[in-house]
Structure 1
Amino acid sequence: MNLEHFLKGEAPGWMDVKGLDADIVLSTRIRLARNLDGYRFPLSFTENEAHQIDVMIKEALQSIQNDEHRFSHFTVKEMPALQRQVLVEKHLISPLLAKKEKSASVHLSNDETISIMVNEEDHLRIQCLAPGLQLAETYADASKLDSKLEEHLPYAFNESFGYLTSCPTNVGTGLRASVMMHLPALTMSKQIKVVTQMLARLGMVVRGIYGEGSENLGNIYQISNQITLGKSEEEILKDLQEVALQIIKNERGAREALLKNSRIILEDRFNRSLGNLKYARIMTSEEAAACLSNVRLGVDMGIIKEVHLNVLNECMILIQQGFVQQYAGTTLQAGERDMYRAKLLREKLNLNNQMIKEKGEERYDV
């Protein structure tokens, strides 16, 4: 596949709305951090070492490619800055990899559910994504790929500490498991701070939509394990699964309470947001994310019936700064981006309406 395939605004496979508990858990991510024995970590290696590692990992992936594992390889420094930003916005590469100047690359599966980053913070980062809450299944996919690569690559491993990584917080299993959750009711009812504090006590961390250092947009939070040393992979997954299920329960309870006590206020909020998305001529990314969050909650609650969640998922991608400029075909100033963003949203929601009319339905069944 060429790079243009991965720069489209279509929702990737890991955003399928049919995933388990997908009304709250947008996606599951498993990331495994690995380094190659005999080479300095990316924080201190030379360009020559970076190139050697890039070549070794590329050859290893080529040797295991089959119908199940087939990847497209892209060198980061050959990508224009805008294309790197789009890949960050689709969660296919990290913000750190996008800034790399030394030899660094990414290998992507065609359905965008697997992303293998080379020479980011570690030599190798295997990332698997899936829709809804699928921690065990997604880890099994990542572990299978990891085992195949380990047959061809000399991993840096210590009998006492486990897999060695650049950051001490990743030493051990090298496993970072996370779930991306839409938690509007907990946010609206001011309970999210209590949830965040509870998670910190349990050794979990809450981050924004693009991970460490990013902000919360549209009531979307990433919740992941913080400890990788001293726990097995099974224990890490079990702990996060239990936490995720408890948060799902709390969010559902908060939604039921809001619906019971404030239905008219909710209906007004949801429909105003839908009207803004359909008709606004200027829209910031923050406003667009807030409106999409409201409409998504309205769909989940059965109050808004004429919008499909797949359309909202695509809108979540389209509103990002990189995608807006990608579609415009040029670099835009902030005000220009806000106008073009509103235009893209109007077009996407108008297409949603046309699809409903063509099907002769009153609504799009989710």
Structure 2
Amino acid sequence: MATNTSKYDAESNFPDFYTQRSMTESHLPLSLYKKLFHVQTPLGVTLDKCIQIGCEQPKPDEKLIGLVAGDEYCYDVFSELFDPVINEYHMGFGPEESHPAPDLDASKLTNGLLDAKYVKSCRVRTARNLSGVALPPCVCRAERRLVEQVFTSALNNLGGDLKGQYYPLTKLTKEQEESLRNDHFLFQKPISHILNNSGACRDWPTNRGIWHNDKKNFLAWLNEEDHCRIMAMEKGGDMKGVFERFARGLLEVEAMMKKEGHKFQWSPRLGYLSACPSNIGTGLRCSVHMRLENLGKREDLFKGICKSMHLDKRGTGGENTETVDFTYDISNEKRVKHTEVEFVQEVIDGVNKLIEIEKKLERGEEVAAPTQQQQTK
């Protein structure tokens, strides 16, 4: 597949990162760029497609990844760049390491019923992509239509408590749009740096949509940042129940896709593949909304405790949002080197510990901050 860059040498086209600080800029010397400049994946993705977001860094004071995969083959074809970026982002996941096989057995979880006085809701989500098709930054219209057809066919065949309906963004009635917005299911055209600057928002909103079951506790987003994002959620503290439904639905969708000759993008070393290297491995975010007033007033203590337990603490609405009424989004920090069950158990254990500490603070007891060694282990 010829491109206009074929007329120029690599040095002439090398990015001027200037104020853009990213992991890509750190790991992409001119020598490597020259080596990979004219290389293409089997689907025609070039290195320049992958690094474009690193050339449009909106926050020069914040070091982001600056790299996306245009298809599943990028992780191998451009491994000399992807591997060191993955290793840096995931805080140690070198080329000699491998992600374990999936484990979605909810029966292995313990203490999964969390105290509803503190935990307001539970959610588990992951990304899955269709093998053989380019990822959203490079997907063509025909491929995007195929993704929508394959995933909706599988989702629409779910039965029992998972039975549901698909709502294409281009065909929503005013009533459906209002209902989806009120349920916090509706996604808009993203304003995120990754999606817009990578090209993932082309042709918006065509062939995008929301699928959810009748009980509104199992949900899928189609053709947003990845081909499909699958989620399970409910109010209260039954994390084990939420994960069981998530795992069951995910496995049923995969089984139905396999019947039609399709499969998810998967690497024996990296696990499930995603457009953003941050979401490889399990791609799983297990999160709770919980109200912690006393810990919320002790920001440094709160932050240190979460870091020591490998938990992310985010605002009420998720990443880069404000905290309302001391309600936080608490989730697993990592995505790789452990199984889905292990990450969910890590969140369960961490949330129970946070509740224990909050109760101590309620009683006026002092709580020691984690040591530096505990925070970095």
TM-score (norm 2): 0.57
Q: Does 1:162 align with 2:162?
A: no
Equivalent runs, 1:239-250 vs 2, <5 Å:
239-250=346-357
Secondary structure in structure 2 of the residue aligned to 1:197: helix
- Counterpart contact for 1:93–1:115, Cα < 8 Å: no
User: Which one of the candidate residues 224, 228, 241 is aligned to 1:124?
Assistant: 228
Q: 1:209 to 1:219 in 2, by over 3 A?
A: same
Secondary structure in structure 2 of the residue aligned to 1:52: helix
- Counterpart contact for 1:39–1:49, Cα < 8 Å: yes
Give the letter for the 1:165 counterpart.
S
- Counterpart contact for 2:162–2:218, Cα < 8 Å: no
Q: 1:213 to 1:123 in 2, by over 3 A?
A: same
Give the fraction of aligned pairs with identical amino acids, expressed as a percent.
24
Q: 1:95 to 1:211 in 2, by over 3 A?
A: farther
Equivalent runs, 1:302-313 vs 2, <5 Å:
none
Offset at residue 67 of structure 1 (A): 2.4
Q: Does 1:101 align with 2:205?
A: yes
Offset at residue 147 of structure 1 (A): 0.9
Offset at residue 136 of structure 1 (A): 2.8
Instruction: Give a deviation string over 1:298-341, Cα, whole Å, max 9, x none.
Output: xxxxxxxxxxxxxxxxxxxxxxxxxxxxxxxxxxxxxxxxxxxx
Give the letter for the 2:137 counterpart.
L
Residue matched to 1:8: none
Distance in 2 between residues matched to 1:150 and 1:162, nearest whole Å = 15
Residue matched to 1:257: 364
Residue matched to 2:167: 74
Secondary structure in structure 1 of the residue aligned to 2:162: coil
- Counterpart contact for 2:282–2:336, Cα < 8 Å: yes
Give the letter for the 2:269 counterpart.
S
Offset at residue 31 of structure 1 (A): 0.4
Instruction: Give a deviation string over 1:119-175, Cα, whole Å, max 9, x none.
Output: 111111110012333333221211111111111321111111111111212111121
User: Which one of the candidate residues 302, 322, 336 is aligned to 1:229?
Assistant: 336
Indicate the larger mover: 102-111 or 26-35.
Answer: 102-111
Secondary structure in structure 2 of the residue aligned to 1:91: coil
Offset at residue 215 of structure 1 (A): 1.8
Q: 1:74 to 1:206 in 2, by over 3 A?
A: same
Pairwise CA RMSD = 2.6
Offset at residue 96 of structure 1 (A): 5.7
Q: Does 1:40 align with 2:134?
A: yes
Offset at residue 231 of structure 1 (A): 0.9
Offset at residue 178 of structure 1 (A): 0.5
Give the letter for the 1:173 counterpart.
T
Q: 1:96 to 1:183 in 2, by over 3 A?
A: farther
Give the letter for the 1:251 counterpart.
E
- Counterpart contact for 1:163–1:173, Cα < 8 Å: yes
Q: Does 1:115 align with 2:219?
A: yes
- Counterpart contact for 1:24–1:182, Cα < 8 Å: yes
Residue matched to 2:96: none
Distance in 2 between residues matched to 1:213 and 1:102, nearest whole Å = 27
Residue matched to 2:322: 215
Give the letter for the 2:170 counterpart.
K
Residue matched to 1:265: none
Give the letter for the 1:226 counterpart.
E
Offset at residue 20 of structure 1 (A): 4.2
Distance in 2 between residues matched to 1:72 and 1:151, nearest whole Å = 19
- Counterpart contact for 1:208–1:222, Cα < 8 Å: yes
Give the letter for the 1:252 counterpart.
K
Secondary structure in structure 1 of the residue aligned to 2:363: helix
Q: 1:182 to 1:214 in 2, by over 3 A?
A: same
- Counterpart contact for 1:183–1:219, Cα < 8 Å: yes
Distance in 1 between residues matched to 2:225 and 2:178, nearest whole Å = 18
Offset at residue 32 of structure 1 (A): 1.9
Offset at residue 85 of structure 1 (A): 7.7
Residue matched to 1:7: none
Secondary structure in structure 2 of the residue aligned to 1:92: coil
User: Which one of the candidate residues 164, 179, 199 is aligned to 2:306?
Assistant: 199
Give the letter for the 2:141 counterpart.
E
Indicate the larger mover: 148-157 or 195-204.
Answer: 195-204
User: Which one of the candidate residues 269, 292, 296 is aligned to 1:183?
Assistant: 292
Offset at residue 88 of structure 1 (A): 5.1
- Counterpart contact for 2:313–2:330, Cα < 8 Å: yes
Secondary structure in structure 2 of the residue aligned to 1:160: coil
Distance in 1 between residues matched to 2:216 and 2:141, nearest whole Å = 28
Structure 2: where are the runs of 5+ without partners? 1-112, 192-200, 258-262, 366-377
Offset at residue 72 of structure 1 (A): 1.9
TM-score (norm 1): 0.59
- Counterpart contact for 2:156–2:165, Cα < 8 Å: no
Q: 1:176 to 1:226 in 2, by over 3 A?
A: same
